[in-house]
Copies of this chain bind each other. A is one copy, B any other.
């Protein structure tokens, strides 16, 4: 399963897809830079689409692992751990090689929601939502599921914006927003906001 040639292909393909896009990166480019024969690619992945899906799955695992790492490294307090994710974003965005979120690019390049790349991107998005949601649940914040979705949305906005402006500023902005959001969510548990009272939710 994990042959060295296969890993090399995944690594090179991921880099090229990230920096130059899926459609514009030809099979031959990947093969040349990986130093691998064409048939090796087709034996391992079946097609270019197969390679793309494999790259996305691999990238999702890496990304989630890195986020978990950022979470663990920052603090034992779930509240701080959420903010730690955006700190990690700041470091990520500062990398001159940063070129945005691969899954956003995949969705953009494969607009059909039924396509495999789009499905892989959706799966990844759910993982991120879950991660944020679980942290909020651990922080005993109310409606952790919605909170998780909101945080994931802020993260998406940050990645998307960072790609355009090429600075770490979006990460800092996202962190500020997340901080306000968490603070507010925390205070709701003790002192409900007027809107919720008016809506009869309390």
Chain A residues near B (Cβ < 8 Å): 19-21, 23-24, 99-100, 104-105, 107-111, 113, 121-122, 125, 146, 149-150, 152-158, 160-161, 163-166, 169-170, 173-174, 176-177, 180-181, 184
Contact = CB atoms under 8 A, between A and B. Distances in A.
Given A113-B166, A153-B157, A156-B156, 11 more contacts: A100-B107, A104-B104, A105-B109, A121-B164, A149-B170, A150-B177, A153-B174, A153-B177, A155-B157, A157-B158, A180-B184
Contact of A164 (B20, B21, B122, B170): B122
A21 B173 contact: no
A121 B104 CA distance: 15
A48 to B, nearest CB: 13
Contact of A21 (B19, B111, B153, B161): B111
